[in-house]
A and B are shown apart, each in its own frame.
Chain A
Amino acid sequence: MPDSKQDEHFRDLLGRLLDDEPGSEALSAEEMAEFTTLVKANPDYSLELRIQLLMDSRLAQYENTGHDASSFVAAVDAALDAEADGDDFVSKVVQLTDERPAPSAGVPWTVAATSLAACLAFALLWIAGTGNAVNEELPPGVAVIESLVGELELDESNRHEGDSVGPGILEVDGYASLEFYKGARLSVAGPAKLELVDPQRVICHFGKIRANVPAVAKGFTVVTAESEIVDLGTEFAMEVGPTGQTEVHVFDGEVEAYDADRSPDSKTLLTAGLAMKIKNADDWEAIPAEVERFDDLTHIDQLARDEDTQKLEAWKAVNAAAKQDSRLIAYYDFEKDEAKRRTLVNRAPSGESLDGAIVGARHKDGPWPGKQSLEFKRPGDRVRINLPGQYDNLTLAAWVRIDGLDRTHSSLMLTDGYDEGEIHWQFKNDGSLSVGVHHPSGKHNYSERGFMDLSQLGTWFHLATVFDQNEGTLSHYLNGELFAVKELKGTGQLNFGEASIGNWDQPVNEGKNSIRGLNGRMAELMVFEEAISAEEVKRLALR
């Protein structure tokens, strides 16, 4: 029987869980475990928890306009619309696939042609398979990057945590853990070079890996220069040297090892606790399994958490410096202000006269734990701002996450209307970043392709756009790296006035392309009255 002291303790934990920090951050891991144990052991506690959760949800729905029935129904309706409108976007993605740069010299043309054809065939199959469902959770690919500490490249382009990765050459410097679409999990310690073939097959050129293969993914295969390892539902690790020398260590379950030709005669069964050293086709030696050697690969989540903490600390330093920076016209850090809940507080020295008004948008998690953001989802969601002044040079820098490119244009920040000197900062639904400037000489659109593709939806990135009229250039940075430079096609002072973040007020032509609501989140927006340097952009992107 629970005693009164225990009751009191339970109520304390329950109260903190429900009414303090959102989610599970209110309790430490130990407290959460303790709470769970109490709930599981006592039916009364379990019932109490369920009643409190039920009423918590009902009250949130009843009291909060952001969660009321009509908002929710409208959101589902908008999502269904977005899915129905998806055809356009998909066909554009296929066009993009078609226009990929030619493969570098040295790749035999047959291979290049085959892989391009395979790529197209895959894209087409994918469209045929999913109908018009752009919001389908799984874009073409074989695995998702679940955690990443360090760098990861797929076919020589940088990929980030949360991205889906398709077939291709994967290089890891640091640690990465991948979740394959069929269910296998693979942790990789760099330097490592792998080739992702399909959701059940990987070629390991060199590196240290550890695989966890649940029963549903039985048959997951790792190929090396000298062997082929087929998993029968288990946990195993491998280390592959640069010359193909391979060690396989089995910790749980069973693994079948074959020579590189997969000849049936070479089949060797390895069970838990066994390991094999394979120098070449003729030199196989049994050795004891060494768990400790692969221990680091089981701690990637912890390493990633540590990295998140470091990111938060690094961001706090940027945040503190920005609050003192008089070059900032406005600085919105998107942190919820308990006293002014629906206000987007301007943290720059220019102060509260430049505060924004939050309309519809809701606070959600940001790019890393401990950082908040605003989510723009419904057609009405926006932040209204009014930034006075005329400027020769400007920098816009933001942490952004795009969840869908449902409209022809998705607003990051658009001035009301599009008068002389005004700027439009937005994405187009083919994944390009588009900057519109109304120069005195005319309206000019500067568009940069390839900022986003489907696999990056839902991934946070840092974006900076620098207007430098002294140099006559417009530069874009992605995650602190220079992405593109364009020559400005006009001169003249720039201004904002009344504007919306995540939406567009007073469209120029009602009707065509006038709805530009963002489907995504923003976690920081800096507006500088200067063209800041590349090093400074890098610092803002925490690189």
Chain B
Amino acid sequence: MAFKRDQKREAFAAFVREHQASLRSFLRVIGVQADSVDDLAQETFMVAYRELDRFDDNEDFGKWLRGIARNLTRNELRKSARRSRIMNEELTQHLLAEAEVDQSEARFEDADLCALRDCLEQLPEKSRGLIAGRYQDEWKASFLADQFQMTAAAVRLALMRIRRQLKTCIETRVSNA
């Protein structure tokens, strides 16, 4: 019995490693708050583990996970704004509907991760610094503004532009690979 459970755990751990990055990005794109993405992703995997017997091997595991994630996110819609882990009820509803139509953003493979690393290395020093401050140190724009002697609005626009550039850069690299 114990051996069987260990085997199940091992197989599942491999699934978690393979799908965690795409799943977390997916949750963010359907309108989950940044702080709550990891929590909901963990809950998704917990549900998946409990229901593993119902998973059909012929299906796409990633797709199945996204189905669970979507349901958990819909549950959040019912909660009062104060306690909810989503960005905003109406906005999240819209993003959920968009994700049903367009599933192209869902995948994030190892190749994308390598590409992201290369693209980050190519960034000018200041842009790299902004990204590091925002994501490694979790500083918000108003604080970064003081550090970089920019206005907060300029920091926000720069971050948006850099994220756009990185997206394009990754796509180019992956399609040329």
A→B interface (CB under 8 Å): 11-12, 14-24, 32-33, 35-36, 39-40, 46, 49-65, 67, 69, 72-73, 75-77, 79-80, 83-84, 133, 135, 146-147, 162, 301, 304-305, 308, 338, 341, 363-365, 369
Contacts and interface: CB of A to CB of B under 8 A. Distances in A.
B94 A39 contact: yes
A302 to B, nearest CB: 10
Nearest to B95: A50
Contacts of B136: 63-65
A414 B124 CA distance: 46
Interface string B14-52: 001100110011011101011101100110011001100
Contacts of A341: 137-139
A63 B13 contact: no
B163 A338 contact: no
Nearest to B34: A22
Given A19-B156, A72-B24, A305-B82, 16 more contacts: A18-B159, A20-B156, A52-B164, A53-B31, A54-B25, A54-B28, A54-B105, A58-B25, A59-B163, A62-B116, A63-B131, A67-B38, A72-B38, A75-B38, A76-B16, A308-B82
Nearest to A135: B46
Contacts of A83: 46
Interface stretch (B53-61, B62-70, B83-91): B83-91
B113 interface: yes
Chain B: interface secondary structure? helix
B74 interface: no
Contacts of B45: 76
A305 B82 CA distance: 8
A369 B82 contact: yes
Contacts of B3: none
B34 A80 contact: no
Interface residues of B, number: 66
Given A18-B160, A69-B17, A76-B16, A23 B24 contact: no
Contacts of B105: 50-51, 54
Nearest to B135: A63
A60 B94 contact: no
B157 A15 contact: yes
Contact of A12 (B42, B153, B159): B153
A315 B100 CA distance: 44
B24 A61 contact: yes
Given A15-B160, A59-B163, A23 B33 contact: yes
6 contacts: A57-B34, A63-B131, A64-B136, A65-B136, A72-B41, A341-B139
A301 B79 CA distance: 11
A221 B27 CA distance: 37
Contacts of A15: 141, 153, 156-157, 159-160
